[in-house]
Amino acid sequence: MELEFLGTNAGVPSLQRNVTSMALRMFEERRTFWLFDCGEATQHQILRSSLKLSKLEKIFVTHLHGDHIFGLPGLLSSRAYQGGTTKLTMYGPPGLKQFIDVSLTLSQSRIEYELEVVEHTGGTVFEDQEFTVESLLLDHRVDSYGYRITEKDKAGSLDLKRMSEYGLKPGPVYGKLKRGESIDLGDGRMLKPEDVLGSPKKGRVVTILGDTRPCDNVLTLARDADLLVHEATFMDDLKESAYNYHHCTSVQAAEAALRAGAKELILTHFSSRYKDMEHLQPLLEEARTVFPNTLLAEELVLFPVQRHT
């Protein structure tokens, strides 16, 4: 898993940064990527990346402010022209479906692939054999949600030496053991998966927040996360402005990461008053005084999701 930021600005785009969007790349895990928010010009940012809209599987929307959703109609319309034929599912707060329906209907856009819009008010919004996605309400001017993406634990690697000792060769039997099934060796013995499998691989947890003030649900979503993506609209000397606009400072984001026991923090959603990466360095420095393992989101740069044990 890798995160690729397609927009890191708050409110409006600037010459240096686009508005909010990020891709969770899962090409090794499921050969797709998921998108979190879709501000204006997100599809242009995707064209500048190695991402292909044909591989987009899901979109998770945190809230309905324009800097998080104005890129959706164009991206959805373009997807079919870029080879997107598979089903696309969107998740977000109530009102998302109306926004999509009205935008596509009035523009007479034709969507030739299956598009499903799932509105939610928190809880478990998606689960399959590989991942669970949970959501909770945050503290913002409109209903804004954070998402906790949990990769399920995977079976350990097969001990090939032990397999050889049992006279087993690569083939379907390997798959059965990896799936947790016992094997009849044909001599009255049963080979159990735990006899030849290493320790399970702990699944990773990624927490991606929408716009928010500090609140308890931030800590719940970020508890022991391998990676927390947290808004940091202002430096801490503008804490009062952050509160008034229902946002956070870089120090407040770092405090949340520390209290939640997160392993790594990436700051994003920066006010346009901070013009470029050089002007963002003070935000990073003050956050690191609280939580040293902090990074600044940078657009079109890949951030691997590390597996912490």
Residue among 78, 117, 76, 79 nearest 98 (CA): 117
Tallying the residues shown for the chain, one arrives at: 309
Q: Is 246 annotated as a binding residue?
A: no
- CB contact at 8 A, 257 and 222: yes
**Hey, what are 239's tokens?**
């804490």
Q: Is 211 annotated as a binding residue?
A: yes
What's the distance, Cα to Cα, between the start and end of the chain in Å? 16
Q: Is 65 annotated as a binding residue?
A: yes
Q: Is 187 one of the catalytic residues? A: no
Residue among 231, 235, 234 nearest 210 (CA): 231
E strand spans, the chain: 2-7, 21-26, 32-36, 56-60, 88-92, 115-119, 123-127, 131-137, 145-151, 183-184, 190-191, 205-208, 227-231, 265-268, 294-296, 302-304
**Alpha-carbon span 77 to 103, nearest angstrom:** 10
Q: Is 140 annotated as a binding residue?
A: yes
3-state secondary structure of 10: coil
Q: Is 63 annotated as a binding residue?
A: yes
Q: Is 247 annotated as a binding residue?
A: no
Task: Choose, from 37, 67, 226, 236, the residue flagged as catalytic.
Answer: 67
User: Which residues face 158 on adjacent strands?
Assistant: 197
Q: Is 269 annotated as a binding residue?
A: yes
* Alpha helices for the chain (secondary structure H): 42-47, 66-69, 72-79, 96-106, 160-165, 172-178, 216-222, 239-244, 250-260, 277-288
Residue ranges for the binding site for Zn(2+)?
63, 65, 67-68, 140, 211, 269
Catalytic residues: 67
State the binding site: 63, 65, 67-68, 140, 211, 269
